[in-house]
Chains A and B, each alone.
Chain A
Amino acid sequence: MNKLFLILFLFFVPNFAFANEGHSSNPLDTAALHPKEMKWNFDGFFGSVDRQSAQRGYQVYKEICSSCHTLNLVAYRSLTDIGFSEDEVKKIAAEYNVTDGPNDDGEMFERPALPSDKIVGPYTNEKAARAANGGAYPPDFSLIVKARHEGPSYIYSLITGYTDAPEGFHSVEGKYYNPYFEGRQIAMPAPITDDGQVEYKDGTFASKEQMAIDVVNFLQWAAEPETEARKKMGVRTMIFLLILFAILMAAKKAVWKNIK
């Protein structure tokens, strides 16, 4: 009985952390809906990021999202992780300008971005972002997937979840109805409105859902570039530990055999 308690304890205690989300069925509710149940390639013990999808997602970010959202913590050179070649990365970076300096004259100057620079965003600082968006701050995307509960599914649900406000719902001027956003009034208009909004370089049909999935895959990689390495190391470590556990258990029993 004590052994059972012991094992339960080890797994039970930390599981407090898992949040307890409610569901709402009243259409006039302002509480957010739970994100849609989605299965992602990167979930689970053997998850991986779909490279093609992430590349398409970068295109979605670049052509749609980057007009308002920054990606401050990701360097251009990291894009080789999702399958861009070094030359492609150099070209992508060179399309943007960064402020550098001071030069020998003591002046700041503009130069094309290098792979070592962080991805250049639409605004130089948060205040500029707020000024251009009616006081609302379009959050930086580098960690957005980790900064929201059930991040990947949340973002997918949010992007594809825009609907008309139900009858009698109290709408706020300048905000849009989205049942997946807390309060259901979001400052961002639907970013993806039509199929084919982006023309994918690899020819994949860019339905709204496809674009949402691709951008989530891209953002997941952007937030956790170490995902695959981590899970690979994890599987190997757990197998090693399980075998070691069996061996040590046997050794313990052998050592203790003569204790009466």
Chain B
Amino acid sequence: MSNHIQNDLPQSITEKSKLAKWVNDRLPIIATLEDTLLKHPYPKNLSYWWSFGSIAGIALVVQILTGLFLAMHYVPNTAMAFNSVEHIMRDVRYGWLIRYIHAVGASMFFVALFAHISRGLYYGSYKSPREILWWVGIIIFLLTMATAFMGYVLPWGQMSFWGATVITNLFSALPIVGKSIVAWLWGGYSVDNPTLNRFFVIHFLMPFLIVGVVLIHLVSLHTVGSNNPTGVEIKTKKDIIPFHPYFTIKDMVGFVAFFLVFGYFLFFYPNSLGHPDNYIPANPMVTPAHIVPEWYFLPFYAILRAVPDKLGGVLMMFGAIALLFALPFLDKSEVKSGAYRPIFKKVFCLFVINFAFLGWLGKSPAEGWYVWASRFSTLFYYSYFLVILPLLPKFEKTLPLPESIDADYKAKH
């Protein structure tokens, strides 16, 4: 909160309740809650695009809880893994529900993350003073992808095994140390029991690391304050409202909308987001016709396959995410929000469509015109960051910004 504007709290509960004061004198939890929920300034014009952060938080909690209960019955051994999952589905009371919540929940987590990141990209939430907030967010994204990748290996279906084989083999592209690193990762000479066992351990561990990084993310957010749809920073008390009750209730609406989408897939089409081949037990002697990762990895998979060189593909794939770290330095526009940048708006729309197209290409065979389309799409993805964004501020005519958040809110309501 760089200008220290805050919401008023006429009286702390520690002045009204002896119990509250007793607790707070020993652990300042009451003061902290009052500070974050009642005093901390939030722009009053935040749209529902701002609810996806807390939705992602809910998704994380759901994954951890369902994961814990799954882990009580799952066996991370190649001889028993597949059958232990079926044991959960058939014999464990409501095991099918816990398993499907976890599997569908992973997809829902990525829907929330993509929406949350899109909000950041469109409204310039990565710009000063929110650079570190943005970087911590990308770290969460990377950790979540690693966790999801290892989680998908655990059922030990055909896609689990072969997806693990393809992706772990990528590290052999690293010069000199590549092959040794891969053997070290595998715990052997191919993806096998040691690999499964350690992936289970790391998959179990990482969500707790993610919680830690999320807390850092929230501390950074608390320090710099939320962005808002105008990109104009908080100026006066008229711009702000407290989190409670306004965003507690608004986020609850967001949660239920999220659960509605979640429930639709969970109860009626739980396997639609997955691949049928993963219901075939892993067989190192039989390669599936098409090895495809889960949908949320498809755009990056397309980038990987677009490059005809193994190391090149790996670098371009990781580069596509590493590029996000550079965003605060690539986009030098003084105007934060895409709502006031007409050309940027159109380019961003193309970027989103291109990203979706990359996803579709990721599940298509790497043959024929798909290859050239992937290369073109990858090129566009990279040029958005490296060419278009740096050049845009030089010639774009931005729309006049509102005087303040208050002025913008009054104009729209």
Contact = CB atoms under 8 A, between A and B. Distances in A.
B253 A233 contact: no
Given A17-B272, A225-B90, A260-B410, A182 B256 contact: no
A146 B97 contact: no
A219 to B, nearest CB: 12
A149 B356 CA distance: 23
Contacts of A249: 253
Contacts of B97: 226, 230, 233
Given A233-B97, A248-B252, A255-B245, A16 B360 contact: yes
B49 interface: yes
Interface stretch (B5-13, B134-142, B259-267, B378-386): B259-267
Interface in B94-142: 96-97, 100, 107-108, 111, 114-115, 118
Given A2-B47, A151-B276, A230-B100, 5 more contacts: A9-B118, A14-B111, A230-B97, A252-B249, A255-B245
A139 B279 CA distance: 11
B89 interface: yes
B234 interface: no
Interface stretch (A60-68, A155-163, A239-247): A239-247
B83 interface: yes
Interface in A193-232: 223, 225-226, 230-231
B295 interface: yes
Nearest to A6: B48
B44 A259 contact: yes
A256 B246 contact: yes
Nearest to B238: A260
A2 B45 CA distance: 14
B114 A16 contact: no
11 contacts: A3-B48, A6-B49, A10-B111, A13-B111, A16-B298, A17-B295, A73-B83, A147-B280, A231-B268, A259-B44, A259-B246
Interface in A142-175: 142-143, 146-149, 151
A45 interface: yes
B260 A73 contact: no
Nearest to B413: A260
Contacts of A149: 276
B276 A148 contact: yes
B276 A231 contact: no
Interface residues of B, number: 55
A9 B298 CA distance: 17
A182 B288 CA distance: 12
A105 to B, nearest CB: 27
Interface of A: 2-3, 6, 9-14, 16-19, 45, 73, 78, 139, 142-143, 146-149, 151, 182, 223, 225-226, 230-231, 233-235, 237-238, 241-242, 244-245, 248-249, 251-252, 255-256, 259-260
Contacts of B268: 45, 231, 234
Contacts of B111: 9-10, 13-14
Q: Would you call the interface of chain A mostly helix, strand, loop, or mixed?
A: helix
Contact of A146 (B48, B114, B276, B409): B276
B96 A226 contact: yes
A256 B360 CA distance: 41
Given A6-B49, A143-B279, A238 B289 contact: no
Contact of A16 (B90, B264, B280, B363): B363
Contacts of A226: 89-90, 96-97
A234 B263 contact: yes
Contacts of B273: 14, 17
B250 A252 contact: yes
Contacts of B252: 248, 252
A95 to B, nearest CB: 22
A73 B90 contact: yes
Contacts of A251: 249
Contacts of A245: 253, 256-257, 260
Interface in B254-297: 256-261, 263-268, 270-274, 276-277, 279-280, 289, 295
A238 B260 CA distance: 7
Nearest to B89: A226
B153 interface: no
Contacts of A10: 111, 115, 257-258, 261
Given A238-B263, A255-B245, A255-B249, A147 B277 contact: yes
B363 A259 contact: no
Contacts of B359: 16
Contacts of B272: 17-18
Contacts of A237: 263, 267
Contacts of B356: 12-13, 16
Contacts of A151: 276
Interface in B360-413: 360, 363, 409-410, 413
Interface string B76-94: 0000000100100110000
Contacts of B245: 255
B323 to A, nearest CB: 21
Contacts of B327: none
Contact of B253 (A6, A78, A143, A248): A248
A244 B114 contact: no
B317 interface: no
A147 B279 contact: yes
Contacts of B114: 13
A231 B270 CA distance: 11
B196 interface: no
Interface in B41-59: 44, 47-49
A61 to B, nearest CB: 17
Contacts of A11: 261
5 nearest interchain CB pairs?
A234-B267, A147-B279, A226-B96, A146-B279, A143-B279
Contacts of A19: 363
